[in-house]
Chain A
Amino acid sequence: MLVVDNICAAYGAIEVLHGISLRVEQGEIVTLIGANGAGKTTTLTCISGLHKPKSGRVTFEGKELVPVPCHDIVRLGIAHSPEGRRVFPRLTVAENLELGAYIRHDKDGIARDYQRIYDLFPVLRERQQQLAGTLSGGEQQMLAVGRAMMAQPRLLLLDEPSLGLAPLIVKRIFEVILELNRLGTTVLLVEQNARMALRIAHRGYVLETGQVIAQGTGAELLADPKVQAAYLGE
């Protein structure tokens, strides 16, 4: 479904990705784990088009993504819930979700999807008319995931959905990711919480300083002594 082929990316003169390659197949949950600065977030932004790689190819369902402007990539079926949540702080919860559906024109379907998001995250229903900037971190994370879902993506990119959240909320978010995947959404998940990510993922890639240093199924990586030592704190 998604093929990232040997991409290099730089911020100014500093290259942060030195040839990353990975694949995501239809129906999978794939996770990218690694330390801060390993290049996980940049890899996601190179897929959603916020950042353009300086070399290499990204193809989605056979279509080359690098030349496509960011605002059109979401139209191809890729939604990105970015690092730091990035909800629109002075818009209401409902307006944030509405903007998630910006590319859609099916009013009935959009109305159904609001209810779906509110059913997944009941707290958002209670806070519909509240400004997103006044939500707690966990609520903002739920909103960011919900907003990305409103685009009806076939591939969902999630960047650190568990960051800074209480364990109970992290658990809820991971349950929702599994639920979305069960309903047919393919997920590429970037996580610092490697253990939880590998538990729910079909496959994973380990990134270190802009390169893939290991890959395998979730279970394989969990059992890998090097991964355990470096990322699972054992």
Chain B
Amino acid sequence: MFETVAQQLIIGLTNGMVFALVALGYTMVYGILEFINFAHGDVFMLSAFFALTLVGVIDVGQFHGPMLAVLLCGIVIASAGFGAVVNLSIDRLVYRPLRKSPKLAPLVSAIGVSFLLQNIGLIWGALPLAVFGGGGQPAAPKSFPQLLPSDNLLGAGSGLTLQIKDVLVIGASLAVMTALYLLVTRTKLGKAMRATAQDPQAARLMGIDTDQVVAATFLVGGGLAGFAAVIYALYINTVYYQMGYQNGLYAFTAAVVGGIGNIPGAVLGGLLLGLVRAFSDQFIGAQWQPAVLFGILIVILVFRPAGLLGSTAREKV
């Protein structure tokens, strides 16, 4: 029993980290623009395709040891950069021209961008690359090579499995979240972000170019999604054009559960969702997963409408 629980804890934490990283992108943009970027999950998906393309073109599978580690780091950084640039471009081309429109306009556009990106994923998956299975079946899941060793760190005889990739997912995610925390709390850009989120007009009076702050927020959120995409692909070993839709929905749920707009809330919500999902799969049954997850979402929102860490009312002066 202990081993079962501990095992689900590991699975829940690793999945939860990925949800948390994606949820951060939703919540940061919401915090500043009060707008849900529904295409965010699809930026995550395209970044995974980008990473898989790099893996195929470089033929990463033939490398081992330190060289493999260096290449993987390079792919993680490149994919984070890719996600950042895609997310920034979406804002620049689609959302920013709609900034002064009624709030429904960018929201509906975001749904449109989401479909657009999924179709780009389909076209991308049709490329005649070996890693895409030759490109004959664009919609089929592509297998992402098992690049990390799957040895059990606790020894082959242990009833509990802890792989290098588990440690890597949790460790790298924590490192990125710490970096984000320092960015937001300690740097001038981070303070400008928080000021813009709390009162954009007052922020402009301080000399903050709020358009630039919004752009930086999309850049950071996209980078987190790109990072999460590689981590996810290395961990789950499958990418497909709808992975952003499904994981994006979970991550968005995580952001809402934690309190949308609240950065620690997104991390808490992501971890909670990952853990609930793991335990519900183990003890209730995988077919009940959406029912359990969204049931809990509803219960939490009934008792805490603003989410776990969200403030129930905006501060009145």
Contacts and interface: CB of A to CB of B under 8 A. Distances in A.
A133 interface: yes
Interface residues of A, number: 31
Given A90-B315, A133-B315, A103 B191 contact: no
Given A86-B199, A88-B194, A102 B208 contact: yes
Contact of B317 (A71, A89, A90): A89
B208 A90 contact: no
B250 to A, nearest CB: 27
B98 to A, nearest CB: 19
B299 to A, nearest CB: 27
A208 interface: no
Interface string B188-230: 1001101100110111111111100000000000000000000
Contacts, number: 73
Contact of A99 (B201, B206, B210, B315): B206
Given A102-B188, A102-B192, A140-B317, A88 B199 contact: yes
A98 B194 CA distance: 13
Nearest to A144: B202
Given A85-B317, A89-B317, A95-B191, A102 B198 contact: no
Contacts of A86: 199, 201-202, 205, 317
A35 interface: no
B182 to A, nearest CB: 15
Contacts of B201: 50, 82, 86
A151 interface: yes
Interface in A29-86: 48-50, 69-72, 74-75, 79-80, 82, 84-86
Interface in A130-153: 133, 137, 140, 147, 151
Interface of B: 188, 191-192, 194-195, 198-199, 201-210, 315, 317
Pairs A-B, 9 closest by C-beta atoms: A103-B207, A89-B315, A86-B202, A133-B315, A74-B207, A70-B204, A102-B206, A88-B198, A71-B209
Interface of A: 48-50, 69-72, 74-75, 79-80, 82, 84-91, 95, 98-100, 102-103, 133, 137, 140, 147, 151
